[in-house]
Amino acid sequence: MTETHVYTCRYCRHASDPTARSCVRCGAPVDVRAAVSTSGWQRQEPITDMARIQFGQSYVQVEGVQVPVADFALANGDRIYFSHHSLLWTDPSTRLTNMGLSGGWKRVMGGLPLFMVEAHGPGHVALSDNHAGDLVCLPLDHGQQIWVREHRFVAATGNISYDWTSTGVWYTTRSGDETETHYPLGRFGDVFTAREAPGLLMLHGPGNTFVRDLAPNEPLLIQPSALLYRDLSVGTHLHLEYPRGSGGFFLSSYSYRNVWLRLVGPGRVAVTSVTEHPEQSNRIVRSSYATSWRW
Amino acid sequence: MERIACEWCRVQNPPGSTTCQTCGAPLDERNKVSDSGWREAPRLRDMTEFRFSGSVCQVEGELVPVAELALAPNDWVYFEHHVMLWKDERVPLSQMQTGGGFRRMFAGMPFVLSVASGPGRIAFSRDAPGELVVLPMPPGVEIDVREHAFLLAAGSVSYSFVRIKGLANILHGGNGMYLDRFITQQYPGMLMLHGNGNVLERTLRPGEKILVEPGGLLYKDASVQMQAVQQDLKVGLVRKLYLAEMTGPGRVGIQSMYVHHRTG
């Protein structure tokens, strides 16, 4: 009698083949021990070089490790969409078209180009990002949604719809008579939904990527620009922290304040190790809902 | 015991070798070739050594690797001066005229190349994460390299540059007006490039075509024809997408992290 093992990929949370070298749904290696920090962060293992990820009748092969290339082999009738900035090479036989302008306003608001490109199979088309980091593949089940930070999108299968949403995370600073509004998480985020069937979403995380599953009401503070994606069940708001002893003649309490993004479970969050420098600080006069702490 | 053929540069190595003595490629790892026919350039192991002419090159680091040369007497290499990382005090530097004058200046290419002569040590690196690509050149080979991508070339390799023909290439191809051209005549030579990100190579059959983002091109055999072709794709309200159509026969090398040029 043959014993049947049920294997759930710890990265994409889908049933997968335990005998394969890499998960057929997301490309993560199967045969490695999870690298989990004592605090609970799990390293998103880079997709194995030359791993194939199946979607529909098509697949994508990931080549390289430093700035990996996603080489899509599209079957007849399958399509993906992406920004032309990501295009590295294509077969002449692969049909490239512009996406319809419907939804263009959403794309512009969400930080995506107005003119997106669709590649239609059969044929090959290859994409890469311009930064060292990881490609992250997220297979989405029918009806599943995921929130993604703007400018992290690489490609999605044609059946994944795109929408944008306001992040609702902002603060206004004042310097003299001038006020400025800051959006540490970006003004808008992207929401991808697998509408009619399962689909594949591909992101690029600069540096290394780490994931963590938050328990209900479990809070966590992160650098806002580190967030790569999150389940929609994870709440987000600002948290302002003022270290003790930072007052004085030259130093105001806001000079050393920290602007955190406070995440509240339940759900999965992913962060990248490369972040953007926080903007220069002035006194915060207004903000979206924020918790605060003074040491 | 049988000698081991390097799958990257085709040179035979003594039995038991773990890295190629001519290009530094690991000999104990399988070639990584995608289903679409792209072969990954070999990732040179930290501290790998290989030889060219009477000199030795040692590769140090992996993220932004350094090429450290121990130049033999009478050996020399040339390079763009800003890629020098350090050198022995006694290694003399000189200059090599490239010709081209103002035409090169308008194309953003250097007027002169620097020359370092042995004996002594000198090291080179570029300033972006990527890979060193070692291309040993048998006699009679011509290779075109995108501007500012070559790290160094041995003195036995002739240097020139080529203007990419065709108005569309100049205005829209995004690869500048010139490619560096490296030629070996009766003697072999060695050319070393720095590719941003990962480097992939594919050999095109005669007449076979692929379309490449111009910023992604790293090198090609001179036999590969390159032409900018407008695609029926909008990338702005009035701009359209241009891709470089590469037509075989010959090798095409691309880099996965590239400068995205204006495309129309």
**What would the pLDDT profile of B79-138 be if each residue is shown by its tens digit?**
998 899 999 999 999 988 777 666 666 656 676 889 999 999 999 999 889 999 999 999
**Which residue among B35, B40, B257 sits closest to A130, beta carbon to beta carbon?**
B257
What confidence score (pLDDT) does residue B173 get? 47
Structural Rg of chain B based on CA atoms? 19
User: Which chain B residues have a beta carbon less than 8 Å from that of A85?
Assistant: 260
What confidence score (pLDDT) does residue B91 get? 93
pTM: 0.88
Q: Which of B132, B211, B239 to mutate to probe the A interface, most A CBs <10 Å?
A: B211
CB contact under 8 A, A92 and B234: no
Distance, CA of B179 to CA of A90 (rounded, Å): 22
Helix (H, G, I), strand (E, B) or coil at B93: strand
**Which residue among B36, B38, B197 sits closest to A66, beta carbon to beta carbon?**
B197
CB contact under 8 A, A89 and B234: no
Question: What mean pLDDT do residues A69-87 have?
Answer: 94
Whether residue B187 is predicted with pLDDT greater than 80 in this model: the reply is yes
Q: Which residues, numbered 65 to 124 in chain B, qualify as contacts with chain A under a Cβ-Cβ cut-off of 8 Å?
A: none
CB contact under 8 A, B210 and A92: yes
Residue of B nearest to A90 (CA): B211
pLDDT digits (tens, 9 = 90+) for B198-238: 999 999 999 999 999 988 999 999 999 998 888 888 887 77
Tokens of A225: 């620009």
B8, B42 in Cβ contact below 8 A? yes
Tokens of B264: 């129309």
> ipTM surpassing 0.90, yes or no?
no
Q: Judging by beta carbons within 10 Å of its beta carbon (0-12, 13-18, 19+), is residue A186 exposed, middle or buried? A: buried
CA dihedral A65, A67, A73, A77 (to 10 degrees): 130
Distance, CA of A85 to CA of B239 (rounded, Å): 14
Cβ of residue B235 closer than 8 Å to a chain A Cβ: yes
Cβ of residue B238 closer than 8 Å to a chain A Cβ: no
**Which residue among B34, B216, B236 sits closest to A88, beta carbon to beta carbon?**
B216
User: Which chain B residues have a beta carbon less than 8 Å from that of A52?
Assistant: 35
What confidence score (pLDDT) does residue A58 get? 96
Cβ of residue A92 closer than 8 Å to a chain B Cβ: yes
**Which residue among B34, B200, B209 sits closest to A92, beta carbon to beta carbon?**
B209
Q: Are strands A290-294 and A235-242 parallel, antiparallel or unpaired?
A: parallel
Alpha helix stretches (DSSP H) within A34-147: 104-109
Per-residue pLDDT band at A100 (split at 50, 70, 90): confident
CA atoms within 13 A on the CB side of A141: 5
Interface contacts (A, B; CB < 8 Å): 107
Cβ of residue B231 closer than 8 Å to a chain A Cβ: yes
Whether residue A155 is predicted with pLDDT greater than 80 in this model: the reply is yes
Distance, CA of B236 to CA of B217 (rounded, Å): 23
